Structure formats: C-alpha cells, structure tokens
Amino acid sequence: MKPFDYQRPDTLSGAHGAARDGATFIAGGTNLIDLMKLEVMAPDTLIDISRLGLDRIVPHGDGLHVGATVTNSDLAADMRIRRDYPVLARALLAGASGQLRNKATTGGNLLQRTRCPYFYDTATPCNKRSPGSGCAALGGEMRNHAVLGTSEHCVALHPSDMAVAMRALDVTVEVEGADGTRSETALDDFYRLPGDRPDQETTLDAGDLITGVILPAPFGGRQTYRKVRDRASYAFALVSVAATVRMENDRISNVALAFGGIGTRPWRDPDVEDLLTGETPTTALFEKAGDILMKDAVLREGLEFKDTLVRRLLTATLTEMTQ
C-alpha cells in the first residue's frame, strides 16, 4: 500500500475541494482497501466521505432516495426496501458476508471492481489495471469471466449483486460534479462496455461523486433474485438473475430481467423483455428468451457452462414467477 494523504471533510463541498488527480473517495473501503493493499489501486489521497450525511434513505417522489453511504446492511434491512423492492433486498443479502455488508455502501457497491484474478495480480498484464498492457485472462484460466459485452481487450465480469437488482429496477444514479452541479444518470447508461478502454468503467468524470441512488415508484408484481455460486454463501455469482414480473389475464404484462455473472456490466437486454411482454408464459417462450439473451455471447474456453446455466436459470425463474 502506497503512502497516501487521508482527509475527512465535513461537507460535500469540502470533499470536492479535496478532490484532485490521484485522489479517490473512500466510504466503506471493503474493495478499495483490498485493492490498495495489493497496489492494484494506489491513490495518493483518500477523501473519506463516510461522514457527510449521505447515509439516509428518504422518500423521493413516489420512490426513494438512497444515500451513497447507506450500508448494504441498512439498505437490506430497511422496511420500505423489503416491502416495495424485495428484489433489491434479496440481492443485497445474497452478497458478501454480514461483516462486509455492514461496511460496504451503496455508492461503493456500484463502483466495485472486477474480481478477475489477473486484474488482482500485478505480476500479469491487465488492460483494466494498466491500460495497453494486454489481457492475461485471454489464453489463461477463465471461469468467473464475462461472455457478454466483452472485447479483445477485456473479459472482466462485473461482480455486484446489488447493481444487478438495481438494473432491473431502473434506478437512477445521482452524481455531484466537482463544481457542485448535480446530475442524474440512468443505471442503464452508467456503465460502459470495455471496448478498448476497459479501465473506464463508468460515465463518471474526474471528481464526480455519487451522492445517491434514486429508486423509482414501486413496481409491484413478483420479484426475485436468484444467485448460483460455487458454495452456499460468501461467494461471487457464477450466474444470477434479478427478475420483476407482473401478470395480467395470465399474460406477462410487464417484466424486467437483469443478469449477473455473464456480462462486463450488470446485464439487461430489452429485446428479451420485448419478446416476453404480452405473451402467455410457456417453456418454449422462455427458451426463446434465452436464445435472444445469449445471441451475442462469446463463449471462450472455460466459460461454455455459462450459456447452459443462464438459460436454465432464466427458464426456471420465469416459470416460477409466472405460475
């Protein structure tokens, strides 16, 4: 861990004032400190935003505003989230451990870095860690890597459970820029595909600070988050799905599906939802949805199983939710 300057401003403007090249905001730190210990990340200034009062969940129109430093535990335990956004509570509870959820925050979770082992290994090339150095995962050992949204420069998976549920919920990310101006970005537009710059993971500009996440009015309907992993708990997803479904007259009237474990960002495909909307649920329909979801998948060696697994998960989840 490189030496760094630690600052703990009392106000948002103070946080912005401290921001400069080489500085990084820290809240829970569960991923950042992990990476700093390995010098995968080496900021020279840490700006502690954990005491800026961004830890509240308040009504926002018909929805909710979740402060950026609300912990994963507090968010999952909040009665409004449990009642109106169960898919989010379930996704949070499926992630990490009780200890980590007590520190990990909403904003930090959105920004957590990939768990690609080559990204974590400073002895190997990685375009995400060190742009232009190459990708050691390609030609190496792939299991927890992406099959959708990849490029020849990066196959790293987005590891979040929370963000998958948020993608299904159409949340908006609230950002305050270095100059104090606030903007809102739909989560759909927040994450970039790796392309030839896998180090640029989001649309955030330098100095931008996530101040919160806005949940739209409750969707109602049935909601679920299902995660498949190598052990029963405390492991990243092999594949996961966040689903919200409303039925009318035995037809699917509204559906949102987002996936973890397959994409370079939390994955959602509008074509899949278009296919399903208005249809009578059948296994054949769900299998067709799987075809659409995976039509552009690149199944590199070691990742072939994700195709089978995500299709089975999709069919089973929709079957259960439309019964």
Partner 1 sequence: MKTSFTVNGSPFSIDLDPRVTLLDALRDHLNLTGSKKGCDHGQCGACTVLVDGRRINACLSLAVMHDGDEITTVEGLSEDGRSPLQSAFVRHDGMQCGYCTPGQLCSATAVFREIAEGWPSHVSETLDGPYALTREELAERMSGNICRCSCYPGINAAILETAEEDAGYAEAAE
Partner 2 sequence: MTFDLKIDEPHPEHRADGLAQGVLEQDNDRPDGWLKVAGTATYAAEEQADDMLHGFLVRAPKIGAVSCPNVDDVRAMEGVRSVLRDPRMIRNAAQGTANEAPAQGVDRAAYVGQPVALVVAESFEQARHAAQALVVSVEEEDKPVQPDAVEPEKPEDKSTELGDLDRAMSEAAFTVDAVYTTPSMVSAAMEPHAATAHWDGETLTLRGSLQMLKFNRNELADSVGLDPKHVRVLAPYVGGGFGSKLGISADCVAAALAAMELKQPVRVVQHRRNVFEVNTRRSETRQHIRLAADTEGRLTGLGHEALVSNLPEEEFSEPVIQGSHFAYAASNRTLGMKVARIHRSAAGSVRAPGESVGVTAFEVAMDELAQAAGVDPVNLRLRNIPEKDPESGKPFSSHRLEAALRQGADAFGWSHRHAAPRQQREGEWWIGTGMAAAFRVNMVIEAEARISLTRDGATVMSDMTDIGTGSYAIFGQIAAELLGLPLDRIDAQLGDTRFPPGSGSGGSFGAASTGTAVWLAGMEIRKQIADRLGCSEAELTLKDGKATYANKRASLRDLLSDEPITGHGHVEPGEAAEKVRQATFGAHFAEVAVSDVTGEVCVRRMLGSFAAGRILNPRTATSQCHGGMTWGIGMALTEELTHDRRDGHAVNRDLAGYHLPVNADVPPLEVHFVEELDDWAGPMQAKGIGELGICGAGASILNAVYNACGARVRDMPATPDRVLAALPS
Residue ranges binding partner 1 (CB under 8 A): 1, 3-6, 8, 26, 29-30, 33-34, 37, 46, 48, 50, 73, 76-77, 82-83, 86, 89-90, 93-94, 96-100, 102-103, 232-234
DSSP 281: P
Helix pair 304-322, 283-293: axis angle to 10 deg: 140
By C-alpha distance, which of 41, 178, 177, 27 is closest to 110?
A: 27
Count of residues interacting with partner 2 (CB under 8 A): 33
User: What does the radius of gyration of the chain's CA atoms come to, in whole angstroms?
Assistant: 19
DSSP 109: H
Among the residues of the chain, which ranges form H helices?
12-18, 32-37, 72-77, 79-84, 86-93, 98-103, 106-110, 162-168, 187-190, 270-276, 283-293, 304-322
User: How distant is the alpha carbon of residue 16 from its chain centre?
Assistant: 25
Choose one: 133-141, 171-179, 201-209, 269-277; the region binding partner 2 (CB under 8 A).
Answer: 133-141
Q: Which sign, positive or negative, has the C-alpha torsion 64, 184, 111, 11?
A: negative
In the bound complex, what is the minimum distance in angstroms from residue 40's beta carbon to partner 2?
10
Q: Rule CB under 8 A: is residue 141 a binding residue for partner 2? A: yes
- Residues of span 292-321 touching partner 2 by CB under 8 A: 305, 308-309, 312-313, 315-316
In the bound complex, what is the minimum distance in angstroms from residue 316's beta carbon to partner 2?
4
How far is the C-alpha of 152 from the C-alpha of 160, rounded, in Å? 23
Choose one: 61-69, 214-222, 232-240, 268-276; the region binding partner 2 (CB under 8 A).
Answer: 232-240
Strand stretches in the chain, DSSP E: 5-7, 23-26, 45-48, 57-60, 63-67, 172-176, 182-186, 209-215, 222-229, 237-248, 251-260, 267-268
Indicate which of partner 1, partner 2, none lies near residue 177 (CB less than 5 to 8 Å, by partner kind).
none
Options 6, 79, 123, 179; binder of partner 2; rule CB under 8 A: 123
Contact 147, 262 (CB under 8 A): yes
In the bound complex, what is the minimum distance in angstroms from residue 151's beta carbon to partner 2?
21
**Alpha carbon of 63 to those of 161, 224, 229: distances in Å?**
21, 19, 32
β-partners of residue 268 are 258
Indicate which of partner 2, partner 1, none lies near residue 98 (CB less than 5 to 8 Å, by partner kind).
partner 1
Mask 80-119, x = binds partner 2 (CB under 8 A)?
-----------------------------------x-xx-
Q: Which is nearer to partner 2, 34 or 55 (CB)?
A: 34
Structure-token pair, residue 321:
């939710």
Q: Rule CB under 8 A: is residue 60 a binding residue for partner 2? A: no
Query: Position 317: which residue type?
Result: T
Indicate which of partner 1, partner 2, none lies near residue 123 (CB less than 5 to 8 Å, by partner kind).
partner 2
Q: Which is nearer to partner 1, 91 or 272 (CB)?
A: 91
Q: Rule CB under 8 A: is residue 238 a binding residue for partner 2? A: yes
By the criterion CB under 8 A, which residues form the site for partner 2?
A: 1-3, 37, 39, 115, 117-118, 120-124, 139-141, 143, 228, 230-236, 238, 305, 308-309, 312-313, 315-316
